[in-house]
């Protein structure tokens, strides 16, 4: 299917050891009630950079540093740039991060605060990526792709290992889906030991590049627009090498959620789970709350447990406060709030 192997994932896990959190898998009573089966949240929100991207970045940058590379460049919707900046600092090498003007200020500042150089280019993730690739070919930087890279995918796959180790009877894993590095990695690792696990990818309706590509049967371009799920923006690359094929082979169901549903999910996380999550991380909760998730049966015919990968916490806190103030606490979706 691809050149990714389970050995790569275990190698990634050894590189991540001590630098990356083995994140908690926490049961949500309110979401379990909504779903009619146990729902557990895989909390990547507690990673040092506030998202799972630290896993792939630490693996990829760590491998480059082991080979003596001293300068890396990347392009990012924010969280990958922050993760590369963190990993580069941990390895004692230089990082330059290209970001488009769509990236929220809080994320730009976070990258700078980690000591990386920042270059703001264009109005889309694709513009930022073109500049990063130019710097790689003309100025001697090593490029660390945000998702379409075997080291990055293997790093994200460690989430899948952790899930099946703690919950071997997991029936379904719901993963936010953009470029597909997270989805491919988690699905690959989980299906190695639990082939029956149902893998669901969720994307915002506005600008869903992987979703459109899966429907078309090949990578296609979509317009990048503003969305609450800003970390899911950007294309998958017309010359996609790994994540499109992996996602296509491993996905059981691809769902789309609206901006309203994402907003309600952010609020649900805040009020019922006591969690601050960014829009991209809320899409799985949104799909559940909207009743879009058909339950998968575990061995024995019971509805088995569902895991939601809650991918990141890096929402602009002013936006979070505005969302929290907008919706009345009696919103029907919040029934059952403690």
Ligand X SMILES: *Cc1c(COP(=O)(O)O)cnc(C)c1O
Q: List the x/- string, 209-238, binding to ligand X by CB under 6 A.
A: ----------------------xx------
Nearest-approach distance from CB 157 to ligand X, in angstroms: 11
Reference 71, options 91, 55, 57, 52; nearest CA is 91
Q: Please, which of residues 5-44 interact with ligand X by CB under 6 A?
A: none
Region binding ligand X by CB under 6 A among candidate stretches 26-34, 97-105, 162-170, 171-179: 171-179
Nearer to ligand X, 53 or 211 (CB): 53
Region binding ligand X by CB under 6 A among candidate stretches 33-41, 101-109, 277-285, 299-307: 277-285
Nearest-approach distance from CB 50 to ligand X, in angstroms: 8
Is residue 104 a contact residue for ligand X (CB under 6 A)?
Answer: no
Nearest-approach distance from CB 282 to ligand X, in angstroms: 9
Enumerate residues 6+ apart whose C-beta is below 8 A from 139.
Answer: none
Residue 81 burial by Cβ neighbours in a 10 Å radius (0-12, 13-18, 19+): buried
Strand pairing category for 25-27 and 39-43: antiparallel
Which residue's Cβ has the minimum distance to ligand X? Answer: 312
Nearer to ligand X, 62 or 284 (CB): 284
SS3 56: helix
- CA–CA gap between residue 159 and residue 182 (Å, rounded): 9
Is residue 254 a contact residue for ligand X (CB under 6 A)?
Answer: no
Contact assessment for residue 159 and residue 251, using Cβ atoms and an 8 Å cutoff: no
Reference 219, options 157, 126, 97; nearest CA is 126
Distances from the Cα of 99 to the Cα of 76, 114, 145, 315, angstroms:
6, 15, 13, 16
Nearest-approach distance from CB 259 to ligand X, in angstroms: 16
Reference 180, options 161, 205, 199, 206; nearest CA is 199
Is residue 86 a contact residue for ligand X (CB under 6 A)?
Answer: no
Nearest-approach distance from CB 108 to ligand X, in angstroms: 14
Nearest-approach distance from CB 175 to ligand X, in angstroms: 8
Instruction: Indicate the angle between helix axes 150-166 and 53-66, nearest 10 degrees.
Output: 130
Is residue 81 a contact residue for ligand X (CB under 6 A)?
Answer: no
Q: Please, which of residues 132-151 interact with ligand X by CB under 6 A?
A: 147
Residues engaged in binding ligand X (CB under 6 A): 51, 53, 79, 147, 176-183, 231-232, 278, 280-281, 311-312
């Amino acid at each position: 299917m691809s050149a990714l192997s389970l050995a790569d994932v275990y190698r990634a896990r050894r590189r991540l050891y001590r630098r990356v959190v083995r994140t908690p898998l926490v049961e949500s009573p309110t979401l379990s009630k909504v779903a009619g089966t146990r729902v557990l949240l895989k909390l990547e929100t507690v990673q040092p950079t506030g998202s799972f991207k630290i896993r792939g970045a630490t693996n990829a940058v760590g491998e480059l540093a082991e080979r003596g590379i001293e300068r890396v460049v990347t392009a990012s919707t924010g969280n990958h740039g922050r993760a590369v900046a963190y990993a580069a600092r941990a390895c004692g090498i230089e990082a330059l991060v290209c970001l488009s003007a769509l990236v929220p200020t809080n994320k730009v500042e976070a990258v700078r605060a980690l000591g990386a150089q920042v270059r703001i280019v264009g109005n889309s993730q694709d513009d930022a990526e073109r500049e990063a690739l130019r710097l790689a070919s003309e100025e001697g930087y090593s490029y660390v792709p945000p998702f379409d890279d075997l080291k990055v995918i293997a790093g994200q796959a460690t989430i899948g290992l952790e899930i099946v180790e703690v919950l071997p009877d997991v029936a379904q894993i719901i993963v936010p889906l953009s470029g597909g590095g997270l989805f491919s990695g988690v699905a690959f690792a989980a299906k190695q030991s639990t082939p029956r696990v149902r893998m669901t990818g969720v994307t915002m309706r506005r600008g869903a590049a992987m979703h459109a590509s899966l429907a078309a049967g090949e990578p296609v371009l979509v317009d990048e627009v503003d969305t609450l799920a800003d970390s899911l923006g950007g294309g998958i690359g017309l010359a996609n090498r790994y994540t499109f094929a992996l996602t296509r082979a491993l996905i059981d169901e691809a769902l789309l959620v609206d901006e309203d549903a994402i907003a309600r999910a952010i609020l649900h996380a805040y009020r019922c789970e006591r969690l601050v999550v960014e829009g991209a991380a809320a899409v799985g909760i949104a799909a559940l709350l909207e009743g879009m998730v058909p339950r998968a049966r575990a061995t024995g015919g019971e509805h088995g447990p569902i895991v939601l990968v809650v991918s990141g916490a890096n929402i602009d806190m002013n936006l979070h406060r505005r969302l929290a103030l907008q919706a009345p606490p009696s919103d029907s979706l919040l029934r059952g709030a403690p």
